[in-house]
Each structure stands twice: as C-alpha cells, then as structure tokens.
Amino acid sequence: MKKSNSKSTKKPEIPLTSLIKPDLTSPKSLKSNSIGKEKEENKINVIYWHRTDLRLKDLPALNKLLNKNENEIKKINNFWPIWCFDPNYLYKHRVGLNRWNFLLESINNLSLEYKKLNKNQKLWVLRGKPFLIFKKLIKDWKITHIVWEKDSNAYSKIRDEKIITLAKELGVEIITTPGRHLYDPDEVIKANKGKPTMTLHQWQSITSKMKDIDKPFPAPESIPDPGPSDLKDHHEENWGEYEGIDLNADVRTGKDTCFDSLTGPSDDPFSVPTMEQLGFPPATTTIHGGTIEGYRRLKLFLSDPEKVSTFSKPHSAPTSLEPSTTLLSPYIKFGCIGIRELWWGCKEVVEKWRKNGGKGETKEPENMFGQLQFRDMYACAEAAIPNFERIRGNSICKYIDWSLQNQYDKNGNEILPRPKDEKDEQAEKRFEAWKKGETGFPWIDACMRQLKYEGWIHHLARHSVACFLTRGQCYISWERGMEVFDEWLIDWDPASNPGNWMWLSASAFYSQYFRVYGLVSWPQKTDKTGELVRKYCPELKDFPDKYIYCPHLAPLTIQEKSNCIIGKNYPFPILNEQLEKELCISKLKDSYKLNFNGNHLEVLNGNVNKKLKELHENNGNTHFKKSEENEKKRKAKGEGALDKFIKREKK
Ligand SMILES: Cc1cc2nc3c(=O)[nH]c(=O)nc-3n(C[C@H](O)[C@H](O)[C@H](O)COP(=O)(O)OP(=O)(O)OC[C@H]3O[C@@H](n4cnc5c(N)ncnc54)[C@H](O)[C@@H]3O)c2cc1C
C-alpha cells in the first residue's frame, strides 16, 4: 500500500489568511487511498494541468474537484500536477527574455510549493504539444480525471477542445472551470445576448445581475503522492515539432534543447527548463516571478489601507522610479496570485478603513476595483469578437488608414514575414526609432527603454508611447505597437493588450482622438526633474531640469556643459510634435466621418484606402495646409513645437 506522506499539518506558506476569510469550510486535503487495497479499475488517477494559474491557493478548478463528489474524491490514488511546455508558445509567439524568465521562475516556485506539501511531489514538467502529451499520459499513467482552469482566449479554446474530445474517447473525465477573471467571460457574453461588453458601465450592469464574485478558494493542506511516473519511449515522437516559423530564432544565442525529449534531461527528468536549454541568454529584468514574490507584493499593497482605499489610477505617477501602482500585473497574468484574493483583499481593507472613518475613498473606474473590472471587460470583448488582435475583420475596430498596416494576400492571409514598406520609408524609420527608444523625445525614449529592460512600464507610460506611435504623432498602425508590447511585456495578455491599443489609438472603446498627450508637458505634471529619463537615457543625465524633456531646445553651451550634444550623443526629435499632431487629428476626423470598421466589405476588399485618400483630398488636404500654416505662425512668433512649455515656465 502506497501511502501519501502528505500528512503535514504545517500550513502552506501563503499569507493573507488573516485578511481574506473565505466563505468556505476549512481547506481540504486531497486524500489518497492505499493502492494495495484498491482494484486497478477503481483507481482514481488525477492530473491537474497548471496553465496560467501558477499557485496553490484560490484554484477554482481544484476546488471543483474537491467538492465534486466527496466519496469519489476520497479515493484519489495518484495525483500529478503538471505543466506542458508547448512548442506553439516557444516558436509561434514572439516572447521577450524577461517573460520567459518570469515564467520559469514561477514554475520553479510552484514546484517548491508542492514539495513543501509532499516531499514526493513537484510540478511535473513535460515538453511538447499538449495533445500528444495527454494521449501518452492517459495511457501510461492510467489517468481517470484531468483538471484545469478554463481559458476563453481563441488559441486555448481550440487546443482544449481537442483534448476534451480525446479524453471522451478514452473515458477520462475532464473537470474544468473558469478562474482567471472575476466573472467567466463566456457567461457575461451569454448574459449580454452574445454581444461583447464595450464599456465598463455595460460590464457592470450585466454582472450586477449575476451572482457575487467568488470568495478565494483555500489551498489544500496536503496532496497525495504521484503514481509511478516513468514514461516509456519519450524520445519516440517529435514532441516539440513545430511547422511554422520560429519567431524567436534571432533572440537565441545558444542551441535550443528544450524538446530533445518529452521529459527533459535524463539526469533530471520532469525538471523546469532553464533559459539556457531554451537557447536564450539571461534576462535583464529586476522583476522576479513566483507566488512568494507575488504574495509579498499583494500583502504589501493590502497593508496600506489608505493607499488601497484612495487608489486613483489617473493620479498615479508614470514618472516615478518606484512603481506608483501595484506592479501586480505579471503575477496576475501568470496566476501567481488569485484574482479573487486581490479583489476580496481590497474589499475587506476598504470596508475596515471606511468603518474607521477613513475619508476620500475613490470610486470606479479609477479605483482598484475599476482596474480589475477593466481587465474583465477586455476579456469579454476578446472572447466575443473574432480578429480582436488586428484591424482586418475586427467588427469593433474603426478603420483608419495608418502607415505600416498588416498586409494580406488575396485569400485574406497575412503576409509574413512582414515586408518592409518601401513606399513609406519615413514610417519605417519612425517605427524603428520608437522601438529603440531613439525618437529624440526623452519621455518616450525612457519609457520604451524601460519597457525593453524591465518588461513592465506604468499604465500612463503605456498611454504615452501608444498615443505617440498611433494617433498622436507617428500615424503608425496600432497592430505594430501591440506586437512590440506582445514581445516585451511580462504581463502580456491577449485581451488587455489589443484592447488597450485600440483604446489608445481611438480605434475602439474610446473616441476622443483629439486629446493627445504632450511629450513635454505630460511627464512634467508628475516629475519636473525627469528622474526616469536620467535613469533610462543616461546620456541626458547632466541636463538641467528645464531641458530634461526637451534637450534639443537647450543652447549649445548647456549641451556642452551637460556632456551631450543633441544630434551627436542623443538624437534630434524625429518629427515636429505639433505639426504631426494636427495632421493626425485631421486624418482621424476623415476616418471617423467615413466610419468603417475592420469587418466592412470595403476594408476586406482593400478599397477603403482609396476612399479615405479621396476624402483627405476632397478636404483639399486643407488639414495639411492648415498645419503647415500654423507651424509657420508658430515659427514667426519664435516658437518651436515644444516651446510652449518653456514659455509657460518663464512666465
Ligand atoms: C497600450 C497598453 C497595453 C496594455 N497591455 C496590457 C497587457 O498586455 N496586460 C495587462 O495586464 N495590462 C495591459 N495594459 C493595462 C495596464 O497598463 C496594466 O495592467 C497595468 O499598468 C499593470 O500595472 P499594475 O499591476 O501596477 O496595475 P494597477 O494599476 O495596480 O492595476 C491592478 C491590475 O488591474 C488590471 N488593470 C489595470 N488597468 C488595466 C487596463 N487598462 N486594462 C486591463 N487591465 C488593467 C491589471 O491586471 C493590473 O495588474 C495595457 C495598457 C496599455 C495602455
């Protein structure tokens, strides 16, 4: 009889139990039975497939397993928590080093958490296509139940459907339930008659009629042993085969050995791959993955009742070196903390603070609850709208004739790798400068360099760079900016990223396209000294405060004194801020007048650009002329594009 040695009464090292009192009974154990007494056919062998829920607490799917059938669950014989390293993610998505690193750290951390509960346990890491992995595991480990947290994004749905069909054929029960969001996006869409929720108000109104958000689910106090875990023939199939282009090839500096075998190196089977095994050089970020760090940050935030209760996103500072918001997004993305833990943790803190006479409580949308609701709103939109991550075929995305749009062949397939746009050399140059953080606008450059280095920037910094690239000045398609964020953000999310890019480019969710962030005046609002610029653009560190966001306006003597000549040690601005802003607004006006979305026939058949060109011309290109005239007037007054701020200061 194989007995679980998971009888430890030691509570898992997860804080917050004092702040969150779940509605449920005390944490349960996944009790294991003695195999010897069981007939083979009565054995319950469970796989818990961890995906973006890399924690032990607040796992609704695990809770569903525990509550499913007390008698049946008492019989669990073997339990394997697994992670599948899917080649689809390793090759098909452009993922930066910082996100890989965060993921590997989070998996390692979870594996240790399992070991703390049962020294025979760990996170069993397998390397290959999930479908092939499950086919093998069901057979070799005699699996009877597979449990996972449901995902509603497009790729996961297709992948999971195949596994569900396979399991049905083999008589394996699948237990799955949503858990990544406050509400199941599919349920919200159903309640909204199949339509996406396009405003926070709409989302709130639909969900107010649904049952309250679940309380956090407790972690198990113990878990059973795994069964015999040898896997035969693990070199037999090409587990990691991937037919498409390896989009991460140029980042690799070493040989990628991840998929040499299903179980990893023979001397350390089922181990977490290293950056080296993936062929990657080390990451640069100082943001580290895992539940320990995630709960530390959560606890820190919840320990400050005033901060939680008066949290106001628009009033937080994008310019500060220490994050002025929670920096919980990477931990939420990978599920190192549960979304219900954050929600109810904040609720409890705010309630206490209110009772104690706290004043100045903020409301939705700017408070913390509003932030989490925005996340859900985008998830509902992504789940309901085909082609959410691009313009073509996207029913909510306004068509704007951006430069550097995705190109499609006559069958509607995107042309990849993307050809350089010879006709729009200027846009290509602007895009490269934006990506490298070499636009000559220190605020934009500091944000982009921080993003690349750390894998995270403040929300309003994301606003600034996205607005600049699209409707603010560069007039470049949001699809291109989104791709850079896809690659570099640790917290990349398939709904929040495209959703926010559409918002910032005034393509959907938001329509005040004429409100543009000033490249100097905006960062000045929260930091006149430019400390973020000094850190990420060290070549500018000696400039006086007055010129830190506009060094090209500094007299040569000051440039020399600051050890940085603009045009030599740091670029001149790549464009004229005011002129381009006016041009962008005028062109957007035409697109808004035409009012075609990405699924309009004229967009699909490629005629829309001609129509917009005509509109621009019918307006006699007056917009452009007007912008030029305005510029001349500004020059005549002796004002450069960025002078307003300086003048205001002098007054
Ligand atoms: C162009 C652009 C792209 C973005 N891409 C992503 C992305 O890929 N992944 C992502 O998680 N967020 C994205 N955001 C939203 C937002 O910027 C980040 O969630 C936030 O900055 C993360 O920092 P934080 O955890 O300190 O946030 P906090 O302000 O502390 O908020 C707490 C949590 O609320 C959620 N949240 C807050 N604001 C938003 C929002 N506008 N949309 C969705 N969720 C929100 C996040 O989960 C965040 O962690 C994007 C914003 C912009 C403007």
Question: Do residue 488 and residue 608 come from a single domain?
Answer: yes
Select from 459, 468, 484 the residue to mutate for testing ligand 1; criterion: most ligand atoms less than 8 Å from CB: 459
**Structural domain span for residue 372:** 291-384
Which atom of ligand 1 lies at the shortest distance from residue 492's CA?
Answer: 8
| Cα 105 from Cα 39, distance rounded (Å) | 40
Its pTM stands at 0.91
What pLDDT shows up at residue 564?
Answer: 98
Ligand 1 pocket test, pick from 371, 377, 444, 489 with the greatest ligand atom count within 8 Å of Cβ, gives 371
Residue nearest to atom 17 of ligand 1 (CA): 459
- Nearest-CA residue for atom 36 of ligand 1: 371
CB of 263 closer than 8 Å to CB of 85: no
- Annotation-wise, does 372 bind a ligand? yes
Q: Answer for the pair 373, 204: CB distance below 8 angstroms, yes or no.
A: yes
Q: Is the domain of 441 the same as that of 536?
A: yes
DSSP 628-647: HHHHHHHHHTT--TTHHHHH
How would you label 130-148 residue by residue, b for 16+ Cβ within 10 Å and e otherwise? bbbbbbbbbebbbbbbbbb
Count of structural domains, the chain = 2
Q: How confident is the model at residue 12 (pLDDT cuts 50, 70, 90)?
A: very low
How many angstroms separate the alpha carbon of residue 589 from the centre of ligand 1? Answer: 28
Q: Which atom from ligand 1 is nearest to the alpha carbon of 465?
A: 1
Shared-domain flag, residues 311 and 440? no
Instruction: Give pLDDT, residue 651.
Output: 37
Determine phi and psi for 492, rounding to 5 degrees.
-45, 130
Q: Measure 534 CA to ligand 1 centroid, in angstroms.
A: 25
What digits encode the pLDDT tens for the residues 257-278?
Answer: 998 889 999 899 999 999 999 9
Residue 15 pLDDT more than 50? Answer: no
- Based on the fold, state whether residues 436 and 517 are members of the same structural domain: yes
Ligand 1 centroid to 498 CA: how many Å? 12
491 is in an annotated binding site: yes
Q: What distance in angstroms lies between residue 474's CA and the mean position of ligand 1's atoms?
A: 23
User: Is the pLDDT score of 88 beyond 80?
Assistant: yes
Q: In terms of domains, do 481 and 588 share one?
A: yes
Mutate to test the pocket of ligand 1, among 329, 456, 476, 492 (most ligand atoms within 8 A of CB): 329
pLDDT mean across residues, the chain: 89
487 versus 241: which is more confidently predicted? Answer: 487
pLDDT of 634: 67
376 annotated to a ligand binding site:
yes
371 annotated among ligand-binding-site residues? yes
Average pLDDT over residues 74-91: 90
Give the single-character DSSP code of 540: G
17 is in an annotated binding site: no
Q: Whose CA is nearest to atom 48 of ligand 1?
A: 329
- The domain boundary, picked from 384, 411, 440, lies at 384
The reply to whether 489 and 370 lie within a common domain is no
Please report the pLDDT score of residue 222 as a whole number. 87
Look up the CATH number of the domain holding residue 337: 1.25.40.80
Ligand 1 mutation target, pool 500, 504, 517, most atoms within 8 A of CB: 500
Among candidate residues 384, 412, 433, the one where a domain is terminated? 384
pLDDT at 643: 42
* Res. 350: pLDDT tops 70: yes
* Pocket perturbation via mutation, ligand 1, pick of 197, 304, 368, 375 by most ligand atoms within 8 A of CB: 375
Beginning with the edge strand found earlier in the chain, give each strand of the sheet holding 76-85 in spatial order. Answer: 124-127, 76-85, 44-49, 145-150, 173-178
In this structure, the answer to whether residues 344 and 448 fall within a common structural domain is no
Among the candidates 336, 355, 384, a domain finishes at 384
> Could you give the CA distance from residue 534 to residue 547 in angstroms, rounded to a whole number?
12
Ligand 1 center from residue 459 Cα (angstroms)? 6
In a domain, 245, yes or no: no
596: domain CATH number?
Answer: 1.10.579.10
CA 466 to ligand 1: nearest atom:
1
Do residues 376 and 440 share a domain?
A: no
CA of 329 from ligand 1 middle (Å) equals: 6
pLDDT tens sequence across 149-186? 998 777 888 999 999 999 999 999 999 999 999 999 99
pLDDT value at position 151?
Answer: 85
Q: Which atom of ligand 1 is nearest to the CA of 486?
A: 8
Q: Are 503 and 509 in contact (CB under 8 A)?
A: yes
Residue 37 confidence (pLDDT) above 60: no
Q: Indicate if 486 and 347 belong to the same structural domain.
A: no
Q: Is residue 28 part of a domain?
A: no
| Stretch 64-78: mean pLDDT | 73
Is residue 183 a known part of a binding site?
A: no
Mean pLDDT across the stretch 118-138? 95
Domain annotation covers residue 599? yes
pLDDT for 18 equals 28
Q: Is 141 helix (H, G, I), strand (E, B) or coil?
A: coil
Pocket of ligand 1 (CB under 6 A): 313, 323, 325-329, 332-333, 371-372, 374-375, 378, 458-459, 462-463, 466, 485, 489, 491-493, 496-497, 500-501, 504
According to the model, what pLDDT value does residue 644 have?
A: 45
For 311-329, the pLDDT digits (tens) are 999 999 999 999 999 999 9
Tell me: pLDDT of 32 over 70: no
Question: Ligand 1 atom 29: the closest Cα is on which residue?
Answer: 325
* High-pLDDT (> 90) share of the chain, %: 76
Q: Ligand 1 center to residue 368 CA distance, Å?
A: 11
Report residue 256: phi and psi, to 5°: -90, 110
Most distant CA atoms of the chain, gap in Å: 94
**What is the Cα–Cα distance from 473 to 467, expressed in whole angstroms?**
8
Whether residue 117 is annotated as binding a ligand: the answer is: no
Q: How many whole angstroms from 338 Cα to the centroid of ligand 1?
A: 16
**329 annotated to a ligand binding site:** yes
* Phi and psi angles of residue 427, each rounded to the nearest 5 degrees, phi first: -65, -40
- In this structure, is residue 280 part of a structural domain? no
pLDDT above 70: residue 233: no
Whether 443 maps to a domain, the answer reads: yes
- Given a cut of 60, is residue 39 above it in pLDDT? no
Is the pLDDT reported for residue 496 higher than 70?
yes
Distance (angstroms) between ligand 1 centre and the Cα of 497 equals 8
Task: Judge if 496 and 627 occupy the same domain.
Answer: yes
Structure tokens given for 571:
């670029």
Is 493 a known ligand-binding residue? yes
561 vs 34, more confident: 561
In a domain, 232, yes or no: no
ipTM for the whole complex? 0.99
Band of pLDDT at residue 301, cut at 50, 70 and 90: very high
> 324 phi and psi, to 5 degrees?
-90, -5
Could you give the 3-state DSSP secondary structure of residue 420? coil
Identify the weakest region by mean pLDDT among 44-53, 231-240, 282-291, 453-462. Answer: 231-240
Q: Does 558 map to a domain?
A: no
According to DSSP H, which parts of 232-367 are helical?
A: 291-302, 305-309, 329-333, 339-355
Flag whether 492 is marked binding: yes
pLDDT of amino acid 236: 60
Q: Is 405 one of the annotated binding-site residues?
A: no
Q: Is residue 486 part of a domain?
A: yes
Identify the helix (H) or strand (E) that includes residue 79. Answer: strand 76-85
Residue 488 CA to ligand 1 centre (angstroms): 14
Are 315 and 379 in the same domain? yes
436 shares a domain with 312 = no
